Structure 1
Amino acid sequence: MRTHFVGEVALDLARLESDLATCRSLEWTEAYSDYVFGGSWKSCMLWAPGGDAGDGVVTNYVYDRPAGFTAHAERLPYLAELIRETADLDRLNFARLALVTDSVIIPHRDLLELSDLPDETRNEHRMHIPLATNDNCFFNEDNVVYRMRRGEVWFLDASRIHSVAVLTAEPRIHLMLDFVDTPGAGSPARVAGGGVEVGIPADRIVTRPPLGDDERADLLGLAPLLSMDTFDEVFSIVIKKHFRRDGGPDFVWNTMLELAAKSPDQAVLPHTEELCKHYTLERSA
């Protein structure tokens, strides 16, 4: 299933804000925070195999147990209702809140570490519903940057290289749902239009100016400063540039590999190559 806009849900904003206020007091995990540069990435599990909130790392759950709501979801009645009304619970593996502030996420593919799981239990389809967002929150797939609006329902092809930028201290909170694949069963989203793959609407796509030669030269001029000590800072700069300027396909990883090859720190290039392999090609559980 390719990335596409599904439709919208009519959010009850008063009940939503009540649940979002309550959720701040729940136990959030920082699973997958190694994908993030900057502020915070946190998640709160609302539905999982065995109804166990767990640690948020999807490979650490016992998949042969029936999935169900966690104790966190029991304190969030509106969000639990939204999940019941929007998702095919028979195919739902995980539902979690994802909170991001002032951060960029490394371009990566998801699901790589799940390849050894049986087809009937492996996450195959991911759905997003933004609950709190703003115009400084961006999603990216391949070389397309776009926004998802509050209350919209999206299916994402998480097997393609994608990343996120939240360029504000204002929290972005999404409801993320992962489903198993059931051939011939139709869309796992109970939303009008859920069976139609319309792609990314043109009015959601962010038009970025082309990256100029001077800007590219300035970025490559960071090579003498790139070391294992400054690696995260330089990587963050390159990702942020990608969300503001169009540097072409695979801009982030190509730029980081070029910078690493010119770095005076000989540890940087093998480190960058290993990260690129880990985030985009193969990853163990």
Structure 2
Amino acid sequence: MEGISLLKSQRLAVLPIDSYDLDSELSIVDSHEYGGEYDTFTFGSWSSHVLGNGSGADSDTAFRPHEGSLALTELGKQLPNIMSLVTEHFPLDRLQWIRVFSLRDGIISPHVDFLEWAKPGLRVQVPLRTSDEALHSENDVVYGIRRGEVWKIHSTDPHSARSTSQVARLSLCLDFAEADEPLAIRNDVPATEPIRVVARPEPTAAELEELIAAGKEFTLETMRAHFRPFAALHFERHAHATAAFDWYVEAARRSGDEDIVAKAQAFRTYCIEKRGDGEAFVW
């Protein structure tokens, strides 16, 4: 399938995830509070839950590279089976962050990770609970990650994720230093399913016009909420992830308000082009 050849993200392994009793621990994650650090990028219900970082502090939730060893947070200490999954299959010497991402009836804006830092790390995800309704995108490819699959996410190209399910998709996210070094995964099992790439039809002119025409209703107060269908369309129709911003800026021009156009352009810059360490986007 053509999409597989274009996909830069890689399935590295499959873990024997059914060997781990995770249900009660996933319920703990479901009820864990999220501070909203990444609300700029997310629409619907998305949250990040830190199990391990450089400090061990629950309040230390904003991702950044760090020197030194990994420390478990209070949440991480409550999840011994998830932590066993990590320690039994992954090298720990380069591991810097352990998080679980929750996505329920939500979407992440197309974005590029590690823009803030000169040297990107290596990011892998392992779904712990998921469904066919949970999808990832990278450039113009949309693909699914099954429960227990270990995927190296190509984070420095525009990418996104969406789930339309009302049950939260929970994905273990591990960040390692030294992106160029291979990741030695232990005790994996053979893959029995092919990589899942989702075929989508081309968008019609009428669909794009209906989407862009919504810009006539944009105000500075409502334009954030208006972005969600722009981000969602490339999961349904064959288009590059960054097309969401092209459509959004064009829609903003329909408002006739230069401040709205400037804000739409600034959001594109922040998500996929340039942002500083600690820089927050203000809608």
TM-score by length of 1: 0.86
SS for the counterpart of 2:128 is strand
SS for the counterpart of 1:113 is coil
* Contact kept? 2:101, 2:172, Cα under 8 Å: yes
2:12 to 6, 15, 28: 6
168-177 vs 21-30, which deviates more? Answer: 21-30
Q: What is the RMSD computed on CA atoms of the aligned residues?
A: 2.5
* Contact kept? 1:6, 1:192, Cα under 8 Å: no
* Contact kept? 2:48, 2:99, Cα under 8 Å: yes
Aligned to 2:215: 223
1:102 to 89, 101, 105: 105
**Are 1:126 and 2:123 an aligned pair?**
yes
Q: Offset at 1:54?
A: 3.1
Aligned residues: 270
Aligned to 2:86: 83
CA distance in 1, matches of 2:260, 2:32: 39
CA distance in 2, matches of 1:65, 1:36: 30
After the TM superposition, list the runs of 4 or more consecutive aligned residues in structure 1 that deviate by more than 4 angstroms.
191-194
* Contact kept? 2:138, 2:241, Cα under 8 Å: no
CA distance in 2, matches of 1:263, 1:57: 34
CA distance in 1, matches of 2:185, 2:260: 43
- Deviation track 1:162-221 (CA, whole Å, cap 9, x = no partner) reads 1111112210100000000075x5325336499xxxxxx974111111111211221222
Pick closer, same or farther for the CA change 1:17–1:193 going to 2, 3 Å. Answer: closer
Pick closer, same or farther for the CA change 1:52–1:86 going to 2, 3 Å. Answer: farther
Aligned to 1:187: 183
* Contact kept? 1:50, 1:65, Cα under 8 Å: no
CA distance in 1, matches of 2:67, 2:195: 42
Aligned to 1:252: 244
- Deviation track 1:243-268 (CA, whole Å, cap 9, x = no partner) reads 11123563211111211222223311
CA distance in 2, matches of 1:96, 1:81: 14
CA distance in 2, matches of 1:42, 1:178: 17
SS for the counterpart of 1:205 is strand
* Contact kept? 1:104, 1:240, Cα under 8 Å: yes
5+ residue gaps, structure 1, are 195-200
Aligned to 1:165: 162
1:51 to 37, 52, 56: 56
5+ residue gaps, structure 2, are 1-6, 278-283
* Contact kept? 1:29, 1:44, Cα under 8 Å: no
CA distance in 2, matches of 1:247, 1:159: 18
**Are 1:151 and 2:148 an aligned pair?**
yes
Residue type of the alignment partner of 1:74: K
CA distance in 2, matches of 1:208, 1:159: 23
Aligned to 1:197: none
* Contact kept? 2:216, 2:252, Cα under 8 Å: no
Identity of aligned residues (%): 26
- Deviation track 1:78-111 (CA, whole Å, cap 9, x = no partner) reads 0010110122100001011111111111111011
